[in-house]
Amino acid sequence: MRKNTERSTVLPVAPTRGRLRPLGLDEVRITGGFWARRRQVNATATLDHCRDWMERVGWIGNFRAAVEGRIQRDRRGREFADSDVYKLLEAMAWAAAGHGPDSSLDAEIAVLTDTIAPAQEADGYLNTAFGRPGQQARYSDLEWGHELYCYGHLIQAGVAQTRARGEGELAKVARRAADHVCVAFGPAGIEGVCGHPEIETALVELARATGEQRYLDQAALFVERRGHGTLTDPEFGRAYYQDDMPVREATVLRGHAVRALYLAAGAVDVAVETRDENLLAAVVRQWEATVARRTYVTGGMGSHHRDESFGDDFVLPPDRAYSETCAGVASVMLSWRLLLATGEPRYADLAERTLFNVVATSPAEDGQSFFYANTLHRRRRGTVPAPDAESPRAESSLRAPWFAVSCCPTNVARTLALLPAYLATADDQGLQLHQYADAEITTSLTGGDTVALTVRTGYPSDGTVSVRIDRSPERRPWTLSLRVPAWAAGATAWLVDPDGVRRAVAPGTAAVTRRFRPGDEIRLELPVTPRWITPDPRIDAVRGTAAVQRGPLVYCAESVDLPKGREVDAVRVDPSVEPRDAPYAPQDGIGVENAVLVAGGPVVHREAGDAPWPYESIAHSASAGTDTGESTGIVLVPYHSWANRGPSTMRVWLPTAKSFTDDEAGR
């Protein structure tokens, strides 16, 4: 495999071919707005929070215990606890890349690496849960042991360090582990796969970073082995870990949502690097079916709590939405890879929806507590978790500081740290903007010409995105493309070119091609007014309801904004009256980020009242409750902000005041 030296090296995903070339952390800098604030909290609070908790609960100490020969007695955490230490290291490496060559994070990475490296065995094997006296043998539990999964996160951390700083000790540890995997699981080795896919993407990225073909070959081998029944049949069925059918034959993502999405991302990586169009087409087919039938309005994936899995088509209950934060991260990973491979903006659409409504929902405003699962309907007010104890349950009613399984906090941390790399791409024609934030971008076009631009926007509160050209080749025309989100369908978006010409643009891509000059400005005006949306009638759980979306943000009703004593289940709305923006006076000085929306009336608060039997004929169904006739409207807040103001009930999908036919719903 050849190394492409014409591109940025500071990249989480660096394909050697594809429709679009990603821009790295050394080319894109987020300077303000929605994502800058979250990245700042991530860098100043979340990284330390994760490290401190992993010291407190003993997951970092496991490596010391392994070296000192007391691991059998003293090991703490689940069998995959090592992986969270590695995800933290990856997050630190990407965060350090944005803080110059002397970041204090580099010293912290070195300290953690000095703790981990001595636990690695001579042949490269590294795991604190297996292989030592008193523990299960290496690779004796491929279904649940997560050894290869842990290697995947270790390798990704090593790649992050290599790209951010050059090959350091962490990268060397990761590479020794990868070499071990190629021997242990190569063509002459164990003919198995890990119960939790993840190593596939890591090995491909290591191949891209080093130019070593054997890592790509091993990743491809793992993808091809998957789905042939090499793992035991669990209580959830082989689909749980995608071992029920080969990747090429699957038509939809199924089983454990995070596993399925990680495997699909790895398959895209393999397909791109090996020019395997059939494999790429298989993943595209699965993505399309999953988005059309198995994805929540927030972009969340996974509707089963019992096995953290996708449900059947259109099984999307809001109150039982699992929608794991890690599945949101994995969905963004997959969408980004498909965008780079194909150039199609629909993948950036889903990534945007998921970033704003799943990834941004998980951490609290202070970055020190998190949602693991992301329900769309909370029926009972939650209880505040203890600040100094692990939450034993993923479905905590409020954000918890840590979990017995805390994969999500470190996954959010690494995603926010590398987020600038998801904003923009380049190709032979020019530059493309896919996600909108205040940013400064500098890169070289094909042929070596440098372009630089500044993006200014209040997005997602405001729909205006202004792009100023700061540097451009004098005699060469090139194309600046801006994504017009799919959510803008049904309204008018406008593009204003440097000459002041204003034209309507449809969802997809809006482009300007010219000889740009410094000072030229392009403006995209997106219609971020609130609107009602209705579900596909095949989603039984939300038939007869409506929700509000404003730009990329999904909104929800929260009990703290209702009249005293009311709960969200008492609310009925009338979608024939358009929602509108309105000023919002925060309670007790606690505000809600972004514009807050008032849903137009009449909004009926239905008094609950028990009947002897909860089912009535249509003619007598009104006896179950009394409409109060209140029509002052209710406040809806961005879904990502819910539960930041204390215990509450919440719902995204709101029952309508009267049933309406498919024709009335706009279908």
Give 123-176 as a 3 state SS string: CCCCCCCECCCCCECCCCCCCCCCHHHHHHHHHHHHHHHHHHHCCCHHHHHHHH
Domain shared by 591 and 516, yes or no: no
E-state strands within 175-324: none
pLDDT surpassing 90 at residue 86 = yes
pLDDT for 617:
73
pLDDT for 598:
58
Nearest residue to 426 (alpha-carbon basis) of 24, 9, 32, 26? 24
pLDDT band for 619, please (50, 70, 90 cuts). low
Of 469, 502, 525, the residue at which a domain comes to its end is: 525
Domain shared by 639 and 561, yes or no: yes
Domain shared by 320 and 349, yes or no: yes
Laid out side by side, the sheet with 604-608 consists of 571-572, 604-608, 625-627
pLDDT surpassing 50 at residue 606 = yes
pLDDT band for 10, please (50, 70, 90 cuts). very high
Let me know if residue 620 belongs to a domain: yes
Distance CA 212, CA 1 (A): 7
The arithmetic mean of pLDDT across residues 294-300, rounded, is 98
The arithmetic mean of pLDDT across residues 649-658, rounded, is 89
Domain shared by 478 and 570, yes or no: no
Let me know if residue 330 belongs to a domain: yes
Domain shared by 459 and 552, yes or no: no
pLDDT for 396:
65
Residue 235 sits at φ, ψ, to 5 deg, of: -60, -25
Domain ranges, residue 446: 425-525
Distance CA 46, CA 40 (A): 9
Q: Tokens standing for 602? A: 């009449």
Let me know if residue 22 belongs to a domain: no
pLDDT for 658:
65
Comparing 247 with 569, the larger pLDDT belongs to 247
Q: Tokens standing for 645? A: 């103001």
Please report, rounded to a whole number, the percentage of residues in the chain having pLDDT higher than 90: 80
For tokens 């990704």, the residue is 156
The arithmetic mean of pLDDT across residues 54-78, rounded, is 97
262: CB partners within 8 A, 6+ apart:
196, 197, 198, 200, 201, 330, 333
Of 525, 540, 560, the residue at which a domain comes to its end is: 525
pLDDT surpassing 60 at residue 599 = no
The arithmetic mean of pLDDT across residues 642-649, rounded, is 91
Comparing 5 with 10, the larger pLDDT belongs to 10
pLDDT surpassing 60 at residue 578 = yes
Let me know if residue 633 belongs to a domain: yes
Residue 640 sits at φ, ψ, to 5 deg, of: -65, -15
The arithmetic mean of pLDDT across residues 376-390, rounded, is 90
pLDDT for 561:
86
Average pLDDT, the chain: 91
The arithmetic mean of pLDDT across residues 529-533, rounded, is 93
pLDDT for 663:
41
Domain shared by 509 and 454, yes or no: yes
Distance CA 513, CA 517 (A): 12
Let me know if residue 38 belongs to a domain: no
Domain shared by 641 and 567, yes or no: yes
Angle at 653 between CA 647 and CA 658, to 5 degrees: 125
Let me know if residue 252 belongs to a domain: yes
pLDDT surpassing 70 at residue 6 = no
For tokens 């090996």, the residue is 274
pLDDT surpassing 50 at residue 4 = no
pLDDT surpassing 90 at residue 444 = yes
Domain shared by 485 and 585, yes or no: no
pLDDT surpassing 80 at residue 103 = no
pLDDT for 594:
52
pLDDT for 565:
75
pLDDT surpassing 60 at residue 310 = yes
pLDDT band for 393, please (50, 70, 90 cuts). confident
pLDDT surpassing 90 at residue 292 = yes
Domain shared by 623 and 542, yes or no: yes
pLDDT for 595:
45
Let me know if residue 390 belongs to a domain: no
pLDDT surpassing 70 at residue 659 = no
pLDDT for 624:
46
pLDDT surpassing 90 at residue 209 = yes
Let me know if residue 419 belongs to a domain: no
pLDDT for 615:
81
pLDDT for 420:
98
Domain count, the chain: 3
Q: Tokens standing for 117? A: 């490296």
559: CB partners within 8 A, 6+ apart:
381, 566, 567, 568, 648, 649, 650
Nearest residue to 374 (alpha-carbon basis) of 438, 440, 298, 431? 298
Domain shared by 567 and 585, yes or no: yes
Residue 402's SS3 state is coil
The arithmetic mean of pLDDT across residues 611-617, rounded, is 79
pLDDT for 634:
82
Domain shared by 501 and 575, yes or no: no
pLDDT surpassing 50 at residue 1 = no
The CATH number covering residue 507 comes to: 2.60.40
The arithmetic mean of pLDDT across residues 319-340, rounded, is 97
pLDDT tens-digit profile of 486-518?
A: 999 999 999 999 999 999 999 999 999 999 999
Distance CA 129, CA 162 (A): 27
> Quick check: pTM over 0.85?
yes
Of 341, 361, 381, the residue at which a domain comes to its end is: 361
Domain shared by 312 and 332, yes or no: yes
